[in-house]
Amino acid sequence: MIANIAYVKSVLGDLRAKKKFGQNFLIDANIVDKIAEKACDPRYTTIEIGPGLGALTEMLLKYSKSVDAYEIDKDMYELLLQGIQDERLQVFLTDFLDADLSVYEEPLCVCANLPYYVTTPILFKLFESDLDLKKITVMVQKEVADRLNAGIGSEDYSALSVEVQYLYDVKLEMNVSRKVFYPSPNVDSAVISFTPKRQRDRAFEQDFFQLVKNCFRMRRKTLHNNLKDLYDEATIKRIYEECGLKENVRAQELSLEDFLRICEVVKR
Ligand code: SAM
C-alpha cells in the first residue's frame, strides 16, 4: 500500500516534498480508497493530475478501466514508475496545464489531490475543455471547496460559483483532516465532486459566462453600474423590468435563474 507513512518516507529517502509543486502525500489508505471509489467508474479511464508517489493512483486503478496520470516532477515520475507496475497505467511527465487533451474522444473521469498553488487554473482547464467528463472529483483546500460551492448572498459567491452551478451538480464529498498528509499542510482539505447536469452548448456558454463576469465586475457596485458601460439605458431598463429586479440589486443577490433570464433579455 503506497498510502502509508513508512512507505512514503522510505521511498522519498533523501528527497524532500517540494513546496513549489504543492507536494503533500496522502498517507491514509482508507481515505484514499473512499475517494477513489466515489470518483471512478469501471467502464472509463480516469485522468489523474499530480500522481506523486502513487497513493491515489493505486486505488484509482482498482476502480477504473485504466488511469492516465500527468506529473510535472521528474523525481515523482520515476518513483511512481518504480512503485506501480500495471499495464493499465500511463504516466506522462508534463505540466497538466500544457497537456493536450484533444487526444481523448471517449468518456472520462477525473480525480486528483490537487497541488494547491495551481488549483484554479487546473479546474478552469477542465471546465472549459471539450472532454466528455462524467465526473470530476478533487481534493482541494477547504476554503477553495467553500468558494466553489458558495450560494447566493455568501461572501464567496462569485462569477465562478455561478458558472460552476450552471454546468455541474456540486457535492461536498468529505472533509479531510490535515493529519492524513505527509508533510502535514497548515489547512484542512475537502473532497468535492462535479457531475455535469446539461448538454454543453459552447457558443451559449461563452456569451453567458461573459455576462456573468460583467455583472460581478465590481462587487460593491450595483448591477446597474456594472452594466451601464456595456448596454444602453433602454436595454438595462428592459432587463430590470422583465426580470423583476429591484433598483439597487447587486450581482451577489442574483440566482443562476436570474442570470439566465438576464442573458435571454440581452440576446433578444
Ligand atoms: N497524488 C499524490 C497524493 O495524493 O499523495 C500527490 C498529491 S500532491 C498534493 C500534488 C502533486 O501534483 C505532486 O506530485 C506534484 O508534483 C504534482 N504537480 C504539481 N503541479 C503540477 C502540474 N502543473 N501538473 C502536473 N502535476 C503537478
Residues 192 and 232 in one domain: no
**Percentages helix, strand, coil for the chain, rounded to the nearest 5?**
45, 20, 35
Mean pLDDT of 115-137: 93
Establish whether residue 55 lines the binding site of ligand 1, counting it when its CB lies within 6 angstroms of any ligand atom.
yes
Burial 29-59 (b: 16+ CB within 10 A, else e): bebbbbbbebbbeeebbbbbbbbbbbbbbbb
In which domain, by residue range, is 260 found? Answer: 202-267
Residues 192 and 208 in one domain: no
C-alpha distances (whole Å) from 243 to each of 88, 238, 247, 264 are: 52, 8, 11, 10
pTM of the predicted protein model = 0.89
CATH code of 221's domain: 1.10.8.100
Per-residue pLDDT tens over the stretch 214-235: 999 998 899 999 999 889 999 9
Residues 166 and 209 in one domain: no
Residues 128 and 217 in one domain: no
Per-residue pLDDT tens over the stretch 135-182: 999 999 999 998 888 888 888 898 888 989 999 999 999 999 999 999
Residues 157 and 36 in one domain: yes
One-letter amino acid of 101 = L
Strand segments (E) across 94-155: 108-113, 133-141
Residues 140 and 220 in one domain: no
Ligand 1 pocket, mutate which of 16, 28, 32, 72 (most atoms under 8 A from CB): 72
Query: Which of the listed residues 150, 168, 196 is the one where a domain comes to its end?
Result: 196
CATH code of 150's domain: 3.40.50.150
Question: Is the pLDDT at 200 greater than 90, yes or no?
Answer: no
Query: Which of the listed residues 174, 196, 218 is the one where a domain comes to its end?
Result: 196
Residues 176 and 230 in one domain: no
Residues 28 and 57 in one domain: yes
CA-CA distance, 38 to 94, in Å (whole number)? 26
Question: Which ligand 1 atom is the nearest neighbour of the CA of 48?
Answer: 1
Residues 73 and 133 in one domain: yes
One-letter amino acid of 125 = K
Question: Which ligand 1 atom is the nearest neighbour of the CA of 3?
Answer: 5
Residues 140 and 186 in one domain: yes
Per-residue pLDDT tens over the stretch 46-96: 999 999 999 999 999 999 999 999 999 999 999 999 999 999 999 999 999
Total domain count for the chain?
2
Residue position matching grid coordinates 432587463: 239
Mean pLDDT of 199-214: 91
Residues 244 and 192 in one domain: no
Tell how far the Cα of 115 is from the centroid of ligand 1, in angstroms. 5
Residues 116 and 92 in one domain: yes
Ligand 1 pocket, mutate which of 1, 11, 21 (most atoms under 8 A from CB): 21
